[in-house]
Structure 1
Amino acid sequence: MSDTEATPDYNVLLRANLERVFNERDPDQRALAMADLYVNDPIMFEPDGVVRGRDAISATAGRLLDQFGPTFSFAPEGTAVGHHGLAVLRWHAGPEGGPVAVTGADAAEFENGKIARLWVLLDPEKAS
C-alpha cells in the first residue's frame, strides 16, 4: 500500500464480511457482497483446506449456513485490529438463543481495500 493510499476501515470490512457473506442465506445477495468485499480471485484458508475464487467462497458460506440450521449465525467480538494490509476480527457462532457452537477469528490480507486472502482460525474446542 502506498503512502497516498487511504487505510481501509478494517473493522467495517471484516464485520461486513461476517454479515453480508457468512450470514447471508440468499446466494444472489451473497454474490453482490463478494464483489464489493473481495478481489477478483481471492483465496480462503480453512483448517481443512483451501478455497479459491469468489464463487467457491460464497458456496462454502452457503453450505455452512445450510449445515447448521436456519438460525445459525456469526457475530463479531470486539473491534477488528490491523495495519499495513492485514487485519483480524474475533467472532463466535451458534444458533439464535442457543449456546455458542464455535469461536475463532478471521485474519484477512487486503489489496486495494478488498479481501485478497482470508484465514479462518478456529479456537480449539474446550472439554466440558
Structure 2
Amino acid sequence: MYLKSSMLTMVCLLICGVSSLSAAGHETIEHTWGGSPVYMTRVADNFIIMYDRSESMGDQFLDTAMTGLQAERRILREKNATLPDMNWMAGIYSFTPGVGTDNLTVYYPMQPYDKTKFHRVLD
C-alpha cells in the first residue's frame, strides 16, 4: 500500500504542476503526433518531480522484475521522451519519508525544462 501511494504521489506531481496563467494567457502550441497536427495548451508554468528514495523502493515492484526505484525511473524516462517543449520551469528532487526536510536532495534545480539535461539526470 505504501509503495502504491508513493508511486501515485510521484505521478500526480509529474502530471499536475502549479498553474499561474490566467485563462486568457494560456499558450497553445502545435506539435505533430503520429503524422497529424496536435494542438496543446500549456496550463501550468512549472512541474516538480519528487521521488521517494526510501529503502522500501529497493523492493520488487508489483509482479515485475523491477524494483520500485527502477519503475519510477522507467516511468520518468518514458514521460520525458514524450513531453513537448512548453516553456516550463522544472525540477527533480528526492526525499526519504519520515526523516525530515533536511534530507531533500536536488538533482535538477528549478530551471527551464531541457529534455536532454532532464534525461541525463534520470540516467
Instruction: Name the structure with the higher strand share.
Output: 1
- Give the structure, 1 or 2, with the largest relative contact order (CA under 8 Å, sep 6 or more): 1
Instruction: Name the structure with the higher helix share.
Output: 2
TM-score over 0.5 for the pair: no
TM-score by length of 1: 0.29
The structure number with the bigger radius of gyration is: 2
